[in-house]
Amino acid sequence: MIYFPYWRFKGILFSCLNTGIDGRFVDVSQQAVTSKHFPFSAGIRPQVGKLTFATKKSEGRFLRPDITYTDAIDLFKGSLTRFAPKPIYHQSYVGDVLSLMYAPFFVLGRLFDAVLNKPINKGIPQDLAATLTATEKIENETRFFPTICPACGWDLDGEKDASVLLCKNCQTAWQPTQKGFAKLPFVCLTNMGQYRTSLPFWRITADIDGISLDTVADFARLANIPYLAKGKDSNTRFHFWVPAFKVRAKMLLTISRRITIAQLDTDGDRKILPEGTIVPANLPVTEAVQTLKIIIAEFAKPAKNYFPYLDQIRITSPKALLVYIPFNEDHHDFIQPKLNLGIGKRLLALAKKF
């Protein structure tokens, strides 16, 4: 069996255009080895088929990629902007995952697609042998960590796509790293109501160069919301708020906008896990940080005065706090009355497939 490599790019693409902010989900692939004998793209098979990890025990001939990780990112970004309306003032990739996958082929008089069991050309190309000589052995192994609380030894709770695992014994939260688990600070906003379901959000503070956005007063001027600064100290530190769960691009901006405007106070809230149902945090903080410049673009008024300078803005030293906000629940939605915010349950279920 011959395994041909493809780079796969998957995530949400935000673009700042003259018409506003465009957000869409992308899942595309392209050859990791330059070859005219194999399909340029893996098509929809990565989306509908079952994928398994390639390991040292995987049998077959794995072709060695000749397009590097960095070059693949540049190629994807170039192809994704080729047909977008111009000018494009800024683009952000949220949840972007670049992975290497292998599609199976075999030779039997002709070159066959092993998934479809159909030939992909009329014969065996004369120079195919040269392509097949550049093979490699799979050396990388998937590392597994036991989901045991590093603090107390209790089992950690979390779904398979969770980016934060919880210990309900010692009331701690942990996020996976390359070396194991790192403890994560969190609070539960009990003053938002006594409801049975809690949703996770990232409250992010960062240093911003290129625009004045240190305080709530700065944010009120940027977004042209004069009432926002009333009742708050003008020197109150400004925080970005981003959902810590996956949703569609448009809904992500809607939720971020609603809660960022609220600038919720987290001082004095309890640092124990909420009771009842806890919606898992499956959007890592590293991906949430990628939305910050788009959130700035979403608020900046008038947009035409800010969009041309978005690429000059630098966001550094982000610090995140995981915040659980209680939501009321009906048959179709999670509802937070104080924020006048409703989140469809179906949206959350569909987002897990992203």
Q: DSSP of 10-74, one letter per residue?
A: EEEEEEEETTEEEEEEEEEEEESS--SSS-SS-TTHHHHS------TT--SEEEPP-S-HHHHHH
Domain boundary among 105, 136, 167: 136
Element containing residue 172 per DSSP (H, E): strand 172-177
pLDDT one digit per residue (tens) for the chain, 354 residues: 889 999 998 888 899 998 899 998 888 899 998 888 888 998 888 888 888 888 888 888 888 888 998 898 888 888 888 877 889 999 888 876 788 999 999 888 888 888 888 888 777 777 777 777 777 777 666 778 899 999 999 999 988 889 999 999 999 999 998 888 999 999 999 888 889 899 999 999 999 999 999 999 899 889 988 766 555 566 789 999 999 999 888 999 999 999 999 999 887 667 889 888 999 999 999 999 999 999 999 999 888 889 999 999 999 999 999 999 999 988 899 999 999 999 998 888 776 665
Is residue 93 included in any domain, yes or no? yes
The answer to whether residues 129 and 191 belong to one domain is no
Two structure tokens written together for 15: 């673009």
Q: Are residues 189 and 129 in the same domain?
A: no
Residue 179 lies in a domain: no
> Is residue 142 within 8 Å of residue 152, measured between CB atoms?
no
> Helices H, strands E: what count in the chain?
9, 17
Q: Are residues 71 and 199 in the same domain?
A: no
Assigned domain for 153 exists: no
| Beta carbons of 172 and 322 less than 8 angstroms apart | no
- Whether the upstream peptide bond of residue 308 has omega within 30° of 0, thus cis, is no
pTM: 0.86
Based on the fold, state whether residues 239 and 318 are members of the same structural domain.
yes
129 and 195 in a single domain? The answer is no
Residue 170 lies in a domain: no
Q: Are residues 342 and 255 in the same domain?
A: yes
Who contacts 72 (Cβ-Cβ below 8 Å, separation ≥6)? 7, 9, 30, 32, 98
164, part of any domain: no
- Return the amino acid letter for 116: L
Please tell me whether residues 125 and 194 are part of one structural domain: no
Distance in angstroms between the alpha carbons of the first and the last residue of the chain:
30
Q: Are residues 131 and 215 in the same domain?
A: no
In sequence order, what are the beta bridge partners of 94? 12
Is 160 inside a domain boundary? no
Same domain, 212 and 327: yes
Pair 196, 126 in one domain? no
Neighbours of 72 (CB within 10 A): 20
Is residue 147 assigned to a domain?
no
Residue 232: its pLDDT value, please?
A: 59
DSSP 8-state code for residue 238 = P
> By residue range, what is the domain housing residue 12?
2-136
When divided into structural domains, the chain yields a total of 2
Question: Do the beta carbons of residue 198 and residue 270 sit within 8 Å?
Answer: no
Residues 128 and 262 placed together within one structural domain of the fold: no
pLDDT at 179: 85
Q: For residue 14, what pLDDT is reported?
A: 92
218 and 294 share a domain? yes
Answer yes or no: is 252 within a domain: yes
